[in-house]
Amino acid sequence: MQKKSDLRPSSSSGLTLIIGQGISGTFLSYYLQKNNSSFIVIDESKPNTASKAASGIINPVTGRRIVKTWMIDELMGFAKNAYQEIGKQLTIDCITETKIIDFFPTPQMRNAFLERFEDDKTFLQLPADENDQRHFFKYDFGYGKIEPVFLIDINDLLSSYRKKLKEEKVLLEEKFDINELQVSDSKIQYKNITADRIIFCDGIESFSNPYFKNLPFAPNKGEALIVEIEGFPDELIYKKGMNIVPLKNNLFWVGSSYEWEFENDQPNKIFRERTELILLDWLKVPFKIVDHISSVRPATLERRPFVGFHPVKKNVGILNGMGTKGCSLAPFFARQLTENIIHQSPIHREADITRFAGIFRRSER
């Protein structure tokens, strides 16, 4: 545990206080440091954050109609460089290029894939032999391939980056208490830290933050099983409603659910039972469930992130609302926010929170 007196900002320029070291806070501090701008990160080490529960897939297509996801052409290339760069700095390999073997669960889904393939083949492929997956899988309607897809080793990235923040004495491992925050036009005061700005990268906690709680967040719970499958192929991602994603040492992440209504963020036995049945029906090989994880995605009603500064409290900012796509959105918008801080360059208009100016005027702070 870092003591506050040990904290050492990384340069002498204006200081940014970052709340949260999920994928958003990690990349924001990374880009600030790259631009010689000082920061301190406050993060309590919670076990079931969205970033820690994520499988780490960057999938360029989505939905029943298999359409390209928002901004994906720009985001894919950016993400590839960003993860390679940060991995190099940390001496880890945190990005792998792979493909998704997309088993069609119904004849309708097969038709949808084939129609999309006729229209636009970017990211889509058809196999030379549709029967070549029968050794491990039971399937009735064939499959298509999605490629390239990136797989991020997000837990390795977060823990390696955390170690670096600690070594550089810029991490405070404690629960941030908003009641201790004082915001004036010229500075931010948090306990004994005086900063130029504060940026909330605190995931679902921002939903109750007095500065940002009126933004249209739409929390979404997701669960996954960690299963052990001896001798199972570990280079590709397999999908049939659920994804099977390779981890390490014969372990696989299997998920996920998307729940808009839920009582708590804890694993629910209904998900475990349902997923076990899906696997029994899909796999020809035995598997063992070794863990069950869950978290809440910081999603937003219009499926766009929340990036930028409060229009009234101009030194209070946010990098959040990454929803189901934190792995591709967080690096890109962390860099945009850094450039906004340093060069006042604009933030993408669909992500910039000033689009909610009316909501901020009506809110109490």
User: Which lies closer to ligand FAD via its Cβ, residue 62 or residue 363?
Assistant: 62
Given the rule CB under 6 A, which of 82-90, 96-104, 195-203, 347-355 is the region that contacts ligand FAD?
195-203
For residues 6-45, which are near ligand FAD according to CB under 6 A? 19-25, 42-44
Task: Decide: 96 and 150 in contact? Cβ < 8 Å.
Answer: yes
Considering only residues 40, 50, 82, 307, which one is a binding residue for ligand FAD as defined by CB under 6 A?
50
Given the rule CB under 6 A, which of 55-63, 127-135, 267-275, 310-318 is the region that contacts ligand FAD?
55-63
The DSSP secondary structure of 271-302, one letter per residue, reads: HHHHHHHHHHHHBSS--EEEEEEEEEE--BTT
For the bound state, the minimum distance from the C-beta of residue 143 to ligand FAD, rounded and expressed in Å, comes to 20
Parallel/antiparallel/unpaired status of strands 197-200 and 15-19: parallel
User: Which lies closer to ligand FAD via its Cβ, residue 110 or residue 333?
Assistant: 333
The set of residues, in sequence order, having a beta carbon less than 8 Å from that of 272 and lying 6+ positions away, is 223, 225, 289, 292
Examine residue 295 and tell whether it contacts ligand FAD (CB under 6 A). Answer: yes
For residues 94-153, which are near ligand FAD according to CB under 6 A? none
User: Which lies closer to ligand FAD via its Cβ, residue 53 or residue 353?
Assistant: 53
d(CA 58, CA 69): 10
For the bound state, the minimum distance from the C-beta of residue 147 to ligand FAD, rounded and expressed in Å, comes to 16
d(CA 21, CA 200): 10
Q: Binding pattern to ligand FAD, positions 228-267, x when CB under 6 A? A: ---------------------------xx-----------
Nearest to 231 by CA among 258, 216, 251: 251
Count CB neighbours of 58 within 10 A.
23
Two structure tokens written together for 337 = 């926010």
Considering only residues 9, 56, 308, 317, which one is a binding residue for ligand FAD as defined by CB under 6 A?
56
The set of residues, in sequence order, having a beta carbon less than 8 Å from that of 87 and lying 6+ positions away, is 93, 94, 95, 157
Binding site for ligand FAD (CB under 6 A): 19-25, 42-44, 46, 49-51, 53-57, 175-176, 201-203, 205, 222, 224, 255-256, 295, 297-298, 320, 322-328
